[in-house]
Amino acid sequence: MAPGVVCKLLPQRGGSRPVNHSLTYFHYVRLPRSALLGSLDKPEDPRAAFFHNISRVAVGTIAIGSLGIPALQMSSFIAARYSQRRTIVNSAGERKPIIEFWTQKAPIVTAVARAFVMKAMHDKAVSLFLDPSLDYRVRHAIASIMKVVMIQHAQEAHLTLSERCGAQGLFEVNQLNAMHADMRGTAIAEGDLLGISVRLATELLLGRYEIPHTSDENSLLYKHEAGMFAELREHLHEIKNHRSVAYDRLVLPDSVPLVQAIGHRIAYDAAVAAGVDACLVDLYVATCIKLDPAWYLEELGIKRTAQKEMESSAIDAVYERLEEYLEKMDVESYVSAPLISDTAWNDYVRSLETFGDSTANVSKRHVPCSAGIVAKASFLSQSSSHI
């Protein structure tokens, strides 16, 4: 290390293995002029100069937010294949894959729909981000909005789908838990979600700049976005000062929901413009409505039963084409989770450290045995291999 520089290696993050982290200390280390960002002259607007000097952070924001797409694709594919493979025996003695249960198929097809819509949003966000005619603050805002929405959908999918895979969802080898841990770091890196949302929401409410307008003012998601803006601007008008205690209490808690609402609308507009299948877009809209059902009831009169029916119809439509969409995502070659097939699972079980009779074939469902304790032990070992 250079003189005066001390680095302390931190332990690995729980459940995640991205890169090493450390604490770095500088003790009376002199920096050359070339190490400083920007000019040494005092700027007329220090705040604007600061954000201009760190503007490259926005590149990292949009880049790291893009990880939400493969996260949704991978998690939905893994959960779908597991749920098609895992079966239960019904009262008639017939085997039935658990994906046929509504509680299993709904979160899977929701993640699939969001994966396709997020891909369209990503393409739109990148095109806006690269547009030199846009104010750099708007481009940074687009990057922030995309990251907030991508992480929101990806993390919900990781948690829900991991639970839908039962005990196997807890193990790092099946990828879901590890992806969730990685995305927790992503949510903080290149701009913490809450921090960038507070700043962005405040600047938009103060009218310092505007996000590109919707292409469909009749869409439900745009009406939700506009409604949130109207409500929070009314608070701001009454409060007067955005640095007051009242603003901190009444407006800041809605910063993330406001940014998410903007992002949901942008995602919808992008998906429609990109020609994403209507059933996927419909399901995306229905699941976004579920995030704030009270607003849609209070402001648009869409009752809870109607909201559920919208979601149910969309889920049925996407589920009918699930295999098609799983193939289109083209992520199977990146999946190493053994729970997606019997072959992969049996190979994985054979690779585990073994105690006891290593000649016993524990990869088959039924192992002949006599009775008593031996039979019970055999049954337990077979059950555990198909958890």
Q: How far apart are CA 343 and CA 307, in angstroms?
A: 41
* pTM for this entry: 0.85
Q: What is the mean pLDDT of residues 211-233?
A: 95
Look at 10-24, 224-238, 288-302, 303-317 and tell me which has the smallest mean pLDDT.
10-24
Closest CA to 267 of 333, 231, 232, 220: 220
Q: Are residues 19 and 144 in the same domain?
A: no
| Domain total of the chain | 2
**176-191 confidence digits (pLDDT tens):** 888 888 888 887 777 7
Angle of CA points 150, 151, 157, to nearest 5°: 95
Assess whether pLDDT exceeds 60 at residue 265: yes
Q: How far apart are CA 297 and CA 224, in angstroms?
A: 11
3-class secondary-structure state, position 24: strand
Q: Are residues 334 and 230 in the same domain?
A: yes
Residue 357 domain flag: no
Residue 50 domain flag: no
**16-41 confidence digits (pLDDT tens):** 666 778 899 999 998 888 887 777 88
Q: Are residues 88 and 16 in the same domain?
A: no
Residue 242 domain flag: yes
Residue 286 neighbours by CB distance under 10 Å: 21
Kindly state the tokens that stand for 370.
């006599």
Residue 314 domain flag: yes
Look at 24-38, 115-129, 294-308 and tell me which has the smallest mean pLDDT.
24-38
Q: Are residues 189 and 308 in the same domain?
A: yes
Q: Are residues 254 and 336 in the same domain?
A: yes
Contacts 24+ apart (CB under 8 A), 130-136: 135/209, 136/52, 136/55, 136/58
Domain span holding position 77:
56-343
Residue 380 domain flag: no
Q: How far apart are CA 149 and CA 117, in angstroms?
A: 11
With a CB cutoff of 8 Å and minimum separation 6, the contacts of 99 are 80, 83, 84, 105, 108
Q: Are residues 121 and 223 in the same domain?
A: yes
CA-atom Rg of the chain in angstroms:
25
Residue 74 domain flag: yes
**318-329 confidence digits (pLDDT tens):** 999 999 999 999
CATH code, domain with 98? 1.20.140.10
Residue 153 domain flag: yes
Q: Are residues 137 and 102 in the same domain?
A: yes
Residue 299 domain flag: yes
Q: What are phi and psi of 226, to 5 degrees?
A: -65, -40
Q: Are residues 74 and 120 in the same domain?
A: yes
**320-357 confidence digits (pLDDT tens):** 999 999 999 999 999 888 888 889 888 888 888 888 77
Q: Are residues 17 and 126 in the same domain?
A: no
Assess whether pLDDT exceeds 90 at residue 110: yes
Q: How far apart are CA 327 and CA 329, in angstroms?
A: 5
Q: How far apart are CA 240 and CA 251, in angstroms?
A: 12
Q: Are residues 169 and 261 in the same domain?
A: yes
Q: Are residues 16 and 102 in the same domain?
A: no
Q: What is the mean pLDDT of the chain?
A: 87
